[in-house]
Amino acid sequence: MSSWRGERSCSASGLWSDQRRAKGKMRRPLINMGRSCSPLRLPDLELWVSGSLFKDWVGISNVEQCGLSSIIPSLRDELQVVSSLGSQNHKSTSSLGRVSSVTRLAPEGAPQSLSAEDAELRTTLEEDLVHGQSKRLTDLLERKGMQLCQALEEDREALELNRFQESRQRGQLHDKVLQLELDILKIRSNLGTWSTSSNCRTSPLTEDRSHREQEQAGKEIKKLREALRKAEERMDDLEFEKDRALSRLQSFEEENAELLQNIQTLDLQMQKDQKSIQGFSQQTCELHSELAQAKNQASKHKMMRILVEDELLSSKELEAEKLIQANQISALETERLWLIGKKEDLRKTFEEGKIRGLEKRCCQHKEHDRLEQGKQALQDPGNPRNTSEEKLRCYEEVQEQEKEELRRVVAHWSGKWLDVAMTLCQTQKELENLQNQQQLKEKTTVEEKNGDLEEMKEELFRMLKIKDIELEEQREQLQSAQDHVSKPFRHAPAYSQMMVSGLGFQVSQQRDEVQRLQKLLDEKDLQR
């Protein structure tokens, strides 16, 4: 009996150690991951707490059955909730991608007004939303994993207590059986010795007493055997209940392993979604950087266009100044011709005045001769002297007045002629200076304009070539980006197509701008 007890106890401890190792292996991924899908509900915990006394194996098995049957559906329900949350997360990210793609679209025929700050803000909001949802999911899984670990710890402690009580009850029963067997052997030996001695020494009264005692001992032995049989039946029932509990625990561990696999698949799917979101955000950043580069190049082209327009305006201003100077030259020419005519008129009038003066002088000389003759005649002794002297004085005064007037007229016309000659010389000098300056200015401006236009033309041709090369590279990059985006982002092809179409629209706008600049250069060459 002792060997049987030892074998049974060793087998139970071996089973418990195997189960403990298996449970420890199952607990390690739970502790490492820290995530689960189903928390234990309060009624289940109350059942486990209420059944922690384990007074009877039937009550214990009922508690275990209720706890396992309530934990497994709750785990399944929570797994469905987590999967629905993952699908909602994926739908929210796809809907956010669609909303952001719709908001980034520009109307037809209008340039895109999306700035890099708006795009970065939108991407950061999407990433914050996705990270917040993933963080909530991880917190929920960690909390449920901790609750499941606590439930498994309580379950393990309950099983340890059950096995300890079972082993203790088995030991007590085996001790009782051994004690009964020893008592029976002692009683049999005492009865044998007593019967042998009673045959020789006892009376019929003692024989009756011994017979009654023997009957009582037989009844007690029967009772003890009946109790032993009941105890063995009880032990068989306990073994059956233990097997049932172990099978339930094994099924629970299998379902727990399935739940852990589902959690791992959900984690992998979440990691893939996060990687895809990160790749999508990186590609959007690259596209935004390319868009910023295209905008910078467009701004450079606009600056070049403004410079060309400024050069055209300066050339137009130079042409207007040239026309003004030509008009001034023509006005000076007309003024010079007018002054020359005026000079000729003055010369003619001066010559005519000179001739008239000579004629007057001749007349005066004749008058003087006549007066001299009259004077001589007056000096004759027959003429009166007073009258002749008065006439002579009057005549001399008149002659002096006429001489003064002639001198004033000659001085006036000579000064006027000198002024006209000086103004004519000055205008001629100014005209010559203006002509020389205009010729020099025209030469320098034409040379500078030719040099600047040649340099600008060469630079624009070089920039046009570089721009064509960059446009081809951007087109190839956009095509490769579209192919690359269409593979991992099957849920957001419209956004990539819209981004590519928007970039294509900007490229076409830049090409139109380049063609317009080329036309301006051609028109400038034709004007030259």
> What is the model's pLDDT at position 38?
39
Contact between residue 486 and residue 493 where contact means Cβ atoms under 8 Å apart = yes
> What is the model's pLDDT at position 91?
47
> What is the model's pLDDT at position 192?
65
Residue with tokens 């009259």: 374
Does some domain include residue 307?
no
pTM above 0.85, yes or no: no
Does some domain include residue 158?
yes
> What is the model's pLDDT at position 446?
65
Local structure of 125: helix, strand or coil: helix
> What is the model's pLDDT at position 132?
78
Q: What's the per-residue H, E or C state across 1-14?
A: CHHHHHHHHHHHHH
Does some domain include residue 178?
yes
| Four-CA torsion 274, 277, 278, 284, nearest 10 degrees | 180
CA distances from 189 to 5, 182, 216, 416 (A): 26, 10, 16, 186
> What is the model's pLDDT at position 35?
39
Does some domain include residue 94?
yes
Nearest residue to 125 (alpha-carbon basis) of 156, 103, 155: 103
Whole-angstrom Cα distance, residue 410 to residue 361? 14
pLDDT in tens, 21-54: 444 444 444 334 433 333 334 334 333 333 333 3
Does some domain include residue 9?
yes
Nearest residue to 433 (alpha-carbon basis) of 334, 342, 332: 332
> What is the model's pLDDT at position 106?
41
pLDDT in tens, 89-146: 444 444 444 444 444 444 444 444 446 677 777 777 777 777 777 778 778 877 877 7
Residue with tokens 């090409």: 511
> What is the model's pLDDT at position 27?
43
Number of domains into which the chain is organized: 1
Does some domain include residue 414?
no
Helices and strands in the chain: count of H runs, count of E runs: 7, 0
Q: Any long-range contacts for 234-237 (C-beta under 8 Å, 24+ apart)?
A: 235/169, 235/170, 235/173, 237/57
Helix axes 42-50, 57-104, angle to 10 degrees: 160
Local structure of 234: helix, strand or coil: helix
Local structure of 528: helix, strand or coil: coil
Whole-angstrom Cα distance, residue 342 to residue 346? 6
Does some domain include residue 470?
no
Does some domain include residue 129?
yes
Whole-angstrom Cα distance, residue 4 to residue 446? 124
> What is the model's pLDDT at position 134?
74
Show the low-confidence residues of the chain (pLDDT under 50): 1-72, 82, 89-114, 200-202, 383-385, 485-493, 495-496
Residue 155 lies in domain = 2-99+120-192+210-292
List CB contacts of 325: < 8 A, sequence separation 6 or more: 434, 438
